[in-house]
């Protein structure tokens, strides 16, 4: 494996234009590209935490494993995370108990606790210095929420086996005047330093990693990638959004974008902890956007305070009349009101999370498929869910019993009963109305350099991008997955699909499934190609 010094296209290093503290503080390794037909016991597709954890478990168990990744490792959401590792989940335990019962809520808590332990153990065994730290987490009320949420959660977490405590203040945030729920034994780490340790183990113990290797098509026990055949007894699809089927998972989970800022604070100014608010109950979205905060050592003088939130459904930011820049500003204001020692904001980035309608990830055998497994629907808990994915899928492949098999079964049928399912399905159907809307611009002459837009041309929706030098690129704006109209994401310079979250670079290359192929090139006629 070599450090990266090759020239990269957008999307190959990371799935947006903004970089992150994690990507800036490791060397993102480059491996060989697949150039021949190969065979293996297990093919893992996806070089994020889910794929790498799975490959690690299976190599450790003596399996022959190939992992393929179409950019560099960590170029998906794993490079854009905030890396809280917790059993205090995005979704309330009170809701999990209502949907899945007390026993299952207990299993959920156990599985996330086991994932934290797994990360701690693996980093110790591999002697990986990844800043792993155990700390408390504090859940406090969103400005629009009421005490009942915390009271219900105290009871529900106890029923799920988590020893939470109600405190009458929020440690570390004097500006918050209410009570909070303390979650013990949570953790944080530098996710990419941790994964570099697993990757080193994989490549030194017989596993094979190919980067710049794009999975293009699936047959039973065979995947075509870069035009070559990979035959495998088992195939694990760990591409965040599954790319192996058109429909199965994509009506059961929904893509949201979430925003992050990183501000410098004097080293040691705040105690190490994780903080979350309970989310905005007045939001228009099914998933209530919430704020999440942690610290990361930056240098001898400063820590970086990393805060996130301001989520919206992918490709639908305009529905709240808020641009990404305004969302960063709101996030900064919220954060400075609570952490007044912040000096400069040195980072801002955004990323995508997939929210399952019944609040549990989908991990296990792909429905009605004997040899293919998926790990998806990890919402904002993908560090632990990706790790659970590695543990559970490797057990399934190795024929070991695992207590979480039914809980996370991708074929489970509780889904249709939820109000969230119907509401999100309605939202998805509405997106097809975009075909009737006016374009963002009438001609490419209206585009500033370095920006993109959707344009109407002769009854067609066209995605256009003008690069920094003024060269114009045009593609059909119709998503190759199921035909919605993609939207321009000015913040990360990508075309994002509002229906199921496929994303494409400004050069039209697919960077996020479920779409498997790029946006098709389009020839502009001279009236609209007004440079
Ligand atoms: C801003 C933000 C904050 C978050 N904070 C937290 C947090 O604090 N705690 C937490 O637990 N979780 C958090 N999450 C969620 C977590 O980061 C993700 O759920 C997790 O990283 C997903 O990992 P993954 O391996 O499933 O997917 P990814 O990391 O996206 O990996 C999938 C990989 O598959 C590759 N791929 C896709 N298609 C193909 C193909 N056709 N061929 C080959 N390769 C392909 C992609 O390039 C990608 O690298 C956060 C997410 C975001 C965006
Ligand atoms: S992601 Fe499904 S239509 Fe675009």
pTM over 0.75: yes
CB 356 within 8 A of CB 95: no
Residue nearest to atom 37 of ligand 1 (CA): 239
Are 11 and 147 part of one and the same domain?
A: no
Which pLDDT value is given to residue 418?
64
Ligand positioned closest to the Cα atom of 503: 2
Are 388 and 325 part of one and the same domain?
A: no
Q: Distance from the CA of 119 to the center of ligand 1, in angstroms?
A: 17
Q: Is residue 102 part of a domain?
A: no
Which pLDDT value is given to residue 3?
47
Are 284 and 302 part of one and the same domain?
A: yes
Which pLDDT value is given to residue 380?
95
User: Is 355 close to ligand 1, i.e. is its CB under 6 Å away?
Assistant: no
CB 375 within 8 A of CB 50: yes
Q: Is residue 112 part of a domain?
A: no
User: Which residues have any ligand 2 atom within 6 Å of their CB?
Assistant: 479, 481-484, 497, 499-502, 514-515
User: Is 379 close to ligand 1, i.e. is its CB under 6 Å away?
Assistant: no
Q: Distance from the CA of 77 to the center of ligand 2, in angstroms?
A: 18
Q: CA 227, CA 76: separation in Å to the nearest integer?
A: 22
User: Is 48 close to ligand 1, i.e. is its CB under 6 Å away?
Assistant: yes
Q: Is residue 531 part of a domain?
A: no
Ligand positioned closest to the Cα atom of 257: 1
Q: What is the full per-residue pLDDT of the chain (531 aa) written as tens digits?
A: 554 556 688 889 999 999 999 999 998 888 999 999 999 999 999 999 999 999 999 999 999 999 999 999 999 999 999 999 999 999 999 999 999 999 999 999 999 999 999 999 999 999 999 999 999 999 999 999 999 999 999 999 999 999 999 999 999 999 999 999 999 999 999 999 999 999 999 999 999 999 999 999 999 899 999 999 999 999 999 999 999 876 777 788 999 999 999 999 999 999 999 999 999 888 887 788 899 999 999 999 999 999 999 999 998 877 788 999 999 999 999 999 999 999 999 999 999 999 999 999 999 999 888 999 999 999 999 999 999 999 999 999 999 999 999 999 999 876 555 676 777 677 766 766 666 677 788 888 999 999 999 998 888 899 999 999 999 999 999 999 999 999 999 999 999 999 999 999 999 999 999 999 999 999 988 656 665
Name the nearest CA neighbour of 378 among 90, 104, 183.
90
CA atoms in the 13 A half-sphere facing the CB of 328? 17
Are 46 and 69 part of one and the same domain?
A: yes
Atom of ligand 2 nearest to the CA of 502: 1
Q: Distance from the CA of 192 to the center of ligand 1, in angstroms?
A: 12
Q: Given 314, 334, 356, which residue is the final one in a domain?
A: 356
Q: Is residue 387 part of a domain?
A: yes
Q: Is residue 101 part of a domain?
A: no
CB 489 within 8 A of CB 495: yes
Are 270 and 372 part of one and the same domain?
A: no
Ligand positioned closest to the Cα atom of 243: 1
Residue nearest to atom 3 of ligand 2 (CA): 482
Domain that holds residue 29: 2-81+192-250+359-415
333-to-135, 172, 308, 321, 429 alpha-carbon distances in Å = 26, 17, 12, 18, 35
Q: CA 469, CA 209: separation in Å to the nearest integer?
A: 36
What sign does the CA torsion over 33, 39, 43, 45 have? Answer: positive
Q: Given 311, 332, 356, which residue is the final one in a domain?
A: 356
Q: CA 96, CA 427: separation in Å to the nearest integer?
A: 23
Are 179 and 303 part of one and the same domain?
A: yes
In sequence order, what are the residues at sequence separation of 6 or more whose Cβ sits closer than 8 angstroms to the Cβ of residue 196? 26, 29, 128
Domain containing residue 340: CATH number: 3.30.9.10
Domain containing residue 201: CATH number: 3.50.50.60
184: how many CB neighbours lie within 10 A of its CB? 14
Ligand positioned closest to the Cα atom of 82: 1
Which pLDDT value is given to residue 135?
98
Are 263 and 348 part of one and the same domain?
A: yes
Q: Which of 246, 247, 427, 499 to mutate to test the pocket of ligand 2 (most atoms within 8 A of CB)?
A: 499
Q: Given 329, 356, 383, which residue is the final one in a domain?
A: 356
Q: Distance from the CA of 498 to the center of ligand 2, in angstroms?
A: 7
Atom of ligand 2 nearest to the CA of 500: 1
Tokens, residue 210: 């190919």
Q: Distance from the CA of 112 to the center of ligand 1, in angstroms?
A: 17
Q: Is residue 134 part of a domain?
A: yes
Residue nearest to atom 14 of ligand 1 (CA): 380
Are 225 and 274 part of one and the same domain?
A: no
Are 244 and 388 part of one and the same domain?
A: yes
Q: Is residue 109 part of a domain?
A: no
Q: What letter does residue 518 receive in the DSSP assignment?
A: P
Are 225 and 126 part of one and the same domain?
A: no
Ligand positioned closest to the Cα atom of 211: 1
Residue nearest to atom 19 of ligand 1 (CA): 382
Q: Distance from the CA of 485 to the center of ligand 2, in angstroms?
A: 8
Are 309 and 209 part of one and the same domain?
A: no
H and E: helices and strands count for the chain: 9, 26
Q: Is residue 54 part of a domain?
A: yes
In sequence order, what are the residues at sequence separation of 6 or more whose Cβ sits closer than 8 angstroms to the Cβ of residue 115? 85, 383, 384, 385, 387, 388, 391
Tokens, residue 92: 């309330």
Domain containing residue 503: CATH number: 2.102.10.10
Which pLDDT value is given to residue 153?
98
CB 238 within 8 A of CB 50: yes
User: Is 381 close to ligand 1, i.e. is its CB under 6 Å away?
Assistant: yes
Are 348 and 363 part of one and the same domain?
A: no
Atom of ligand 1 nearest to the CA of 49: 25
Kind and range of the H or E run holding 372: strand 372-376
Give me the number of domains the chain comprises. Answer: 3
Q: Distance from the CA of 482 to the center of ligand 2, in angstroms?
A: 5
């Amino acid at each position: 494996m070599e450090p990266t010094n090759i020239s990269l296209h957008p999307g190959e290093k990371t799935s947006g234009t903004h970089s992150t503290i994690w990507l800036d503080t490791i060397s993102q390794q480059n491996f060989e590209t697949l150039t021949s037909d190969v065979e293996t016991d297990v093919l893992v597709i996806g070089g994020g935490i889910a794929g790498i954890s799975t490959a690690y478990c299976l190599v450790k168990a003596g399996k022959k494993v190939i992992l393929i990744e179409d950019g560099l490792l960590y170029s998906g959401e794993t490079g854009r995370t905030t890396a809280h590792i917790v059993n205090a989940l995005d979704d309330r335990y009170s809701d999990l108990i209502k949907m899945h019962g007390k026993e299952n809520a207990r299993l959920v808590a156990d599985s996330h606790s086991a994932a934290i332990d797994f990360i701690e153990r693996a980093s110790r065994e591999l002697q990986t210095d990844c800043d792993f730290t155990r700390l408390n987490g504090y859940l406090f009320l969103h400005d629009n929420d009421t005490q009942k949420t915390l009271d219900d959660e105290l009871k529900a977490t106890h029923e799920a086996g988590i020893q939470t405590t109600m405190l009458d203040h929020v440690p570390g945030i004097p500006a918050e005047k209410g009570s909070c729920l303390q979650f013990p034994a949570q953790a944080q780490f530098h996710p990419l330093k941790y994964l570099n340790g697993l990757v080193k183990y994989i490549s030194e113990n017989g596993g094979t990693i190919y980067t710049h290797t794009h999975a293009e098509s699936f047959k039973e026990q065979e995947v075509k990638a870069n035009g070559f055949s990979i035959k495998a007894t088992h195939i694990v699809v760990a591409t965040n959004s599954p790319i192996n089927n058109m429909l199965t998972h994509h009506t059961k989970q929904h893509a949201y974008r979430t925003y992050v800022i990183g501000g410098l604070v004097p080293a040691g100014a705040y105690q190490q902890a994780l903080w979350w608010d309970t989310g905005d109950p007045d939001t228009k979205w099914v998933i209530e956007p919430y704020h999440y905060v942690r610290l990361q050592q930056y240098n001898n003088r400063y820590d970086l305070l990393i805060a996130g939130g301001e989520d919206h459904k992918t490709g639908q930011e305009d529905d709240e009349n808020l641009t990404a820049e305004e969302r960063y500003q709101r996030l900064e204001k919220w954060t400075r009101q609570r952490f007044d020692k912040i000096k400069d904001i040195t980072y801002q980035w955004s990323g995508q999370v997939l929210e399952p309608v019944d609040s549990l990830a989908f991990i296990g055998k792909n429905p009605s498929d004997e040899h293919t497994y998926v790990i998806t629907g990890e919402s904002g808990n993908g560090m632990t869910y990706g790790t659970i994915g590695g543990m559970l899928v490797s057990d399934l492949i190795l024929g070991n019993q695992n207590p979480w098999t039914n809980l996370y079964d991708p074929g489970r049928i509780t889904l249709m009963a939820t109000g969230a399912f119907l509401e999100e399905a309605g939202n998805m159907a509405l997106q097809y109305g975009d075909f009737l809307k006016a374009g963002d611009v009438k001609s490419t002459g209206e585009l500033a350099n370095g920006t993109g837009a959707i344009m109407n041309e002769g009854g067609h929706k066209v995605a256009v991008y003008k690069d920094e030098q003024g060269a114009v690129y045009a593609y059909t704006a119709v998503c190759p997955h199921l035909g919605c109209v993609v939207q321009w994401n000015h913040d990360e310079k990508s075309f994002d699909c509002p229906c199921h979250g496929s994303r494409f670079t400004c050069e039209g290359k697919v960077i996020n499934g479920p779409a498997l192929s790029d946006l098709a090139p389009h020839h502009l006629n001279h009236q609209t190609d007004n440079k």
